[in-house]
Amino acid sequence: MVEIVGAGLAGCEAAWALGSRGAEVCLIDMKPQKRSPAHHSDLFSELVCSNSLKSDDIWGNACGLLKEEMRLLGSITMRAADCCKVPAGGALAVDRERFSAYVTEQIKCCPNIRIVCREADRLPEAGIVATGPLTSEPLAEDIRRRFGGALHFYDASAPIVSAESIDMTKVFTADRYGKGEGDYLNCPMIREEYEGFVEALLSAERADPHPFEKGEIFEGCMPLEVMAGRGKDTLRFGTFKPVGLRDSRGERPYAVLQLRRENRAGTSYGLVGCQTNLRFGEQRRVFSMIPALKHAEFERYGVMHRNTFLQSPQILNADFSVKDNPELRFAGQITGVEGYVESAMSGLLCGLHVWNRLNGKEAIVPEDTCVSGALSRYIARENKDFQPMNANYGILGAGFGEIRDKKERKRRLGERAIAEILRFRANIAEGK
């Protein structure tokens, strides 16, 4: 029986990759007895920071390509996402509650997966550890003892407001550059409103840091107030950029906050890119300065939490096995892949590697010509300045020489990646 610790995205992917093929799995998770500081639900595969899985463009975006690679490998995350998606222009966003419920039901209904509710306090001798960036302290301490310490940075999530509390007379529906079918609610601001908002954001009181929150902030999930501190126009060139958006009069606003559906019914909207560590009362005060949110009712406030990851180049091989113990593997964001999709990918590959090992087949890591393989190899490559990595074209293997047309180059990279994933898939042992 394969022991898997953690029922987040990576743990569920690994459990499904094994259990659905006939392997006996014991999936251990501390829910519902205990939750991490950032979790709100007792369901598996909970999406904490956002309901977006980023771009769904297979031929023009590295994360979109990664999702297609995972679909070809039978990913439970991608099946759930495709079943529970909500309108989000060119992005793949999901009804997060339906998404987690879907994965939870599939895992619980699989006859080969036994679920054990308990908090793991030590590393197993064999199996998969997929406890994620919010690994509970007893296990985190055992990991530190075993591997000489783990690193961490800090992550933040964005607030969610009720749809009925949004002033619809002060929004316009549109997707950037006309992509999609007007899936986002756009909250425009004139210059005075924007500058007043930034001033209030910078002077607002931040939440007291928890004892464990003394480290780096990940650039890919920077709190809004930290970004604003880099210059008054920083948000206008980032989270609040008006580029590619036109209001009902055909004019481009000075600044725009976008709202994205949180569920299929459209009763809740998330503030896109507004991760924050402000006190709850300050979040209500500051975000209510945006005209469309003047009377907004907050269903969930933004929070900051710790993300822990290993110094993987010193510890892991590219098949996610521990260098001095091939029977023990890690999966998910704890390995240094950053993002929902990337985390799920590592669990999926980890499960497939274990499956092949159970069936006497050598673990073959996909080449770096696909995103899955490139990320797998990134976390194992010698790197004294190792930091978490998202899916991106920069980590893929050599390109095709001088192809000036960016679209053509990305299309060629995508075709090559799909070919490599199909080659890798052909090496997976047959299910029972």
DSSP string, 204-234: SPBPPPPTT--SEEPGGG--HHHHHTT-TTT
Q: What is the pLDDT of residue 343?
A: 96
Q: What's this model's pTM, rounded to 2 decimal places?
A: 0.79
Q: Where does residue 149 rank: exposed (0-12), middle (13-18), buried (19+ CB within 10 A)?
A: exposed
Q: Where does residue 199 rank: exposed (0-12), middle (13-18), buried (19+ CB within 10 A)?
A: middle
Q: What is the pLDDT of residue 25?
A: 98
Fold of 2-150+310-426: FAD/NAD(P)-binding domain (3.50.50)
Tokens representing 298? 């907050």
Phi/psi for 299 (5° steps) reads: -85, -25
Q: Do domains 2-150+310-426 and 160-305 have the same CATH topology?
A: no
Q: What is the pLDDT of residue 267?
A: 87
As assigned by CATH, the class of the 160-305 domain is mainly beta
d(CA 342, CA 357): 23
Q: What is the pLDDT of residue 34?
A: 61
d(CA 372, CA 97): 27
Q: How confident is the model over 236-287, as pLDDT tens digits?
A: 999 999 999 999 889 999 999 999 998 888 888 999 999 999 999 999 999 9
d(CA 91, CA 89): 6
Phi/psi for 291 (5° steps) reads: -45, -45
Domain ranges of the chain: 2-150+310-426, 160-305
Q: Give, for all 432 residues of the chain, the pLDDT tens digit.
A: 999 999 999 999 999 999 999 999 999 998 876 666 555 677 999 987 778 899 999 999 999 999 999 999 999 999 999 999 998 888 999 998 999 999 999 999 999 999 999 989 999 999 999 998 778 888 988 998 998 766 667 777 899 999 999 999 999 999 888 777 788 999 999 999 999 999 999 999 998 654 434 445 656 668 899 999 999 999 999 999 999 999 988 999 999 999 999 888 888 899 999 999 999 999 999 999 999 999 999 988 888 877 778 999 999 999 999 999 999 999 999 999 988 999 999 999 999 999 999 999 988 999 999 999 999 999 999 887 787 888 988 889 877 667 778 889 899 999 999 999 999 999 998 866
Q: What is the pLDDT of residue 209?
A: 56
Q: Where does residue 265 rank: exposed (0-12), middle (13-18), buried (19+ CB within 10 A)?
A: exposed
Specify whether the CB–CB gap between 276 and 156 falls below 8 A: yes
Specify whether the CB–CB gap between 16 and 76 falls below 8 A: yes
Chain center to CA of 394: 19
Q: What is the pLDDT of residue 22?
A: 96
